[in-house]
Amino acid sequence: MRNMKSICTKLACLLLVLLVSGVAKGEEIKLSTAENIGSPNGQLQLNFAVNLKGEPLYELMYKGKTVIKPSKLGLELKDDPGLMNDFTMTDVKTSSFDETWEPVWGEVKQIRNRYNEMAVTLHQKEQDRDIIIRFRLFDDGMGLRYEFPLQKNLNYFVIKDEHTQFAMAGDHTAFWIPGDYDTQEYDYTESKLSEIRSLMAGAITPNSSQTQFSPTGVQTSLQMKTADGIYINLHEAALVDYSCMHLNLDDKNLIFESWLTPDAVGNKGYMQAPCKSPWRTVIVSDDARDILASRITLNLNDPCVYEDVSWIKPVKYVGVWWEMIAGKSTWAYTDDLPSVKLGETDYSKTKPNGRHGANNENVKRYIDFAADNGFDQVLVEGWNEGWEDWFGKSKDYVFDFVTPYPDFDVKMLNAYAKSKGVKLMMHHETSGSVRNYERHMDKAYQFMADNGYNAVKSGYVGNMIPRGEYHYGQWMNNHYLYAVKKAADYKICVNAHEAVRPTGLCRTYPNLIGNESARGTEYEAFGGSKPFHTTLLPFNRLIGGPMDYTPGIFDIKLDFMGDLPHGRVQTTLAKQMALFVTLYSPLQMASDVIDNYEKHMDAFQFIKDVAVDWDDSKYLEAEPGDYVTIARKAKGTNNWFVGGITDENARTSNFTLDFLEPDKQYVATLYADGKDADYQENPTSYQIKKGIVTAKTKMSVKEARSGGFALSLIEATPADKKAVKKWK
């Protein structure tokens, strides 16, 4: 049987070569050697070959079904014949790897990194140079990358285009956003691949800062589902010193091809050997829950580079933010536009606008609330000079990140926070002036260290200054990582907004504790997001790493805004609580204003109780764009928390608590949609139920339209067992 299997595999590889060679009648047939590799469990099979034109290509099978049809690989170089063809295979090395490692923080305490690897060396005879294409097959997917050894004829080179293909086997359903170079802040669109071109124009909104690069270009992470129930996810891992990859779709042949974000003059990458590309990833399963459970993106990144990680801590925080997003208060101290150098404005000659959010008394109130409810930090935006000029669009608008407004006493507030067992979280809005930020970075981080800050939310709103670079190009990606590394010198954690979407670098640099890089809660104030948006984020945006989504809005209709113009939240209140579990992040913000929480302290109890770091995660129910139900075990405890959300359709979530320890009892507290709850008609209707449960307890929870539920499972004490009734 083993010999027969080997013969069949070789025949399949030969057919692959013949299929893509395009051999004309009568042409001499010269086949290159074909190679293959399987995943550790044998369910994934990769075939690799070089066709008669010397073009490298691969195909990927899952349980005998085609996931990626024969697809070409290669790079087009500037002023160079390129790395596209005329290759011969000169060496193939295979190996296996199996380790278990512990992340500094994460969805699970331990991660298994097991794969089979094939490294293929390709030689261009005429150019006399080599490249290596490295494949890793995991049980749940594949990674591939290009490697460029140091050699005489491939030293410095400029990438004109990368041509990594992903040929689809059918007109799959896709959940996508347009291929914008500067933002991911879009609602997702669900469509067939063949419909993307016609729908693309409607997906572009005025919030987009950059016209899409192609009428069929989409961003990664891209989630798809085939007609026969196979889930496919395309993304990248370990994006370092390279441009972010989008995907162009040839919608006639259903072939995706990598499209790198260009720089200001149109080049895609500046390389110096020895070097390598990021990994191109394919996650695949016939169970949607496996996509959420995949750790491929993290496993394809290097281990943590820091010896001491004791200073890196997950954080639950509140902040002076939502009231400014909604328009009730302002970032700027005054509406006057001084247009002078930072630190030289005489604020005694300006008129305070009376709505500045980052004032001493308001910040102290948030500190008190955080301390009273067990929160770690308080984010304060709009604390520093420069906002008047920026909002006024002065040609001189920049920030120095150390000069506070006159109503924000840095030393007093940090001392007050420390006395309450709370820290303040810094905010650095760069206004896109990246070189200015880099010039001030050491001084700004030292200022943080001197004043008790250990975490910063950085922002990159607007077009890049001064070179006109894009947010997702190689130049900016190098800056984002530079900021994270520099922050580590001062033991500071970074939460970068408007930066490139993550690719698992938090494994290597775990002080990169959060990113935005998607359409977050702020858009609920601007007009809302689609009800299915948060059911897709775990399948798309969160594949690369956690998101600072800023959930927890209890005033769904934003009534606290009075007559001021605003949007409304497109969920129920119960769904807002569930997001603390379904949208994983070690950096979770209870983002509503204090007054709104004080009206619903019974529901707020779940946000107080829920953890931000986990020993285990179970993905109980999942269907992209429809629903997600996730259970997580709090770090170092036996307590579990469950969150379930749905789209615009009401549903009933059914699951068993079999992930609990079988010999223990737990106090279950369920925060669910009320019987009359509806995200449009009655979004704040909720109900709370409590009872004793075990691992055998079956749960059935009704979710309203765009609703959800949150469930805490706390190990029962002897007193609990007497006082709390059995769950019914």
Report d(CA 194, CA 1) in Å as an integer: 42
Catalytic residue (choose from 522, 598, 703, 715): 522
Q: Does residue 19 carry a pLDDT above 70?
A: no
The reported pLDDT for the residue numbered 391 is: 65
Confidence of residue 567 (pLDDT cuts 50, 70, 90): confident
| Domains 2-299 and 315-613 alike in fold | no
Please provide the average confidence, as pLDDT, over all residues in the chain. 92
Confidence tier at 516 by pLDDT (50, 70, 90): very high
> Do you find a cis peptide bond into 6, omega within 30 degrees of 0?
no
Whether the Cβ atoms of residue 56 and residue 48 lie closer than 8 Å to each other: yes
Distances (CA, A) of 428 to 33, 115, 585, 624, 722: 55, 40, 20, 34, 51
Average pLDDT over every residue of 136-162? 97
pLDDT value at residue 351: 86
Give CA angle at 188 (183, 193), nearest 5°.
Answer: 110
- Among 15-24, 308-317, 707-716, name the one with the lowest average pLDDT: 15-24
Q: Nearest to residue 441, comparing CAs of 488, 394, 380? A: 488
The CATH number of 2-299 is which of 3.20.20.70, 3.40.50.300, 2.70.98.10, 1.20.120.1200? 2.70.98.10
- Residue 109 C-alpha from the chain's centroid: 20
Q: Is the pLDDT of residue 291 over 70?
A: yes
Q: Which two tokens stand for residue 244?
A: 């972010």
Percent of the chain's residues with pLDDT above 90: 85
Structural contact between residues 401 and 384, judged by C-beta atoms closer than 8 angstroms: yes
Q: Active site includes 522?
A: yes
534, 571 Cβ separation under 8 angstroms: yes
* CATH of the structural domain 315-613, one choice from 3.20.20.70, 3.40.50.2000, 3.30.1240.10, 3.40.640.10: 3.20.20.70
Residue 200 has pLDDT above 80, yes or no: yes
* pLDDT of res. 65: 97
pLDDT tens digits along 639-693: 999 999 999 999 999 999 999 999 999 999 999 999 999 999 999 999 999 999 9
Cα angle value 29/33/37 (rounded, 5°): 140
Least confident piece of the model among 72-76, 338-342, 373-377, 591-595 = 338-342
pLDDT of residue 16: 53
pLDDT interval class at 23 (50, 70, 90): very low
Average pLDDT over residues 496-507: 97
Q: Which two tokens stand for residue 212?
A: 């899409």
Q: Where are the domains of the chain?
A: 2-299, 315-613
pLDDT value at position 3? 45
pLDDT digits 0-9 by tens, 413-450: 999 999 999 999 999 999 999 999 999 999 999 999 99
Residue 535 CA from chain centroid, whole number: 14
Instruction: Output the furthest CA–CA distance in the chain (Å, rounded).
Output: 89
- Beta-bridge partner residues of 258: 247
- 507 vs 334 pLDDT, higher one: 507
Q: What is the mean pLDDT of residues 561-567?
A: 79
Q: Which residues contact 187 (CB under 8 A, 6 or more apart)?
A: 177, 203, 519, 529, 530, 533
Average pLDDT over residues 90-103: 98
Return the DSSP state at 493. Answer: E
Give the integer Cα–Cα distance in Å for 612 and 603: 18
CA angle 275, 278, 282 (to 5 degrees): 145
pLDDT tens digits for range 212-241: 566 679 999 999 999 999 999 999 999 999
Per-residue confidence (pLDDT) for residue 71, from 0 to 100: 97
**Mean pLDDT for the stretch of residues 346-360:** 89
**Considering only 202-211, 297-306, 629-638, which range has the smallest mean pLDDT?**
202-211
Q: What is the pTM of this model?
A: 0.94
Q: Which amino acid is at 275?
A: C
Token reading at 458: 């950085």
543: which DSSP letter?
G
| Rounded Cα gap, residues 514 and 502, in angstroms | 9
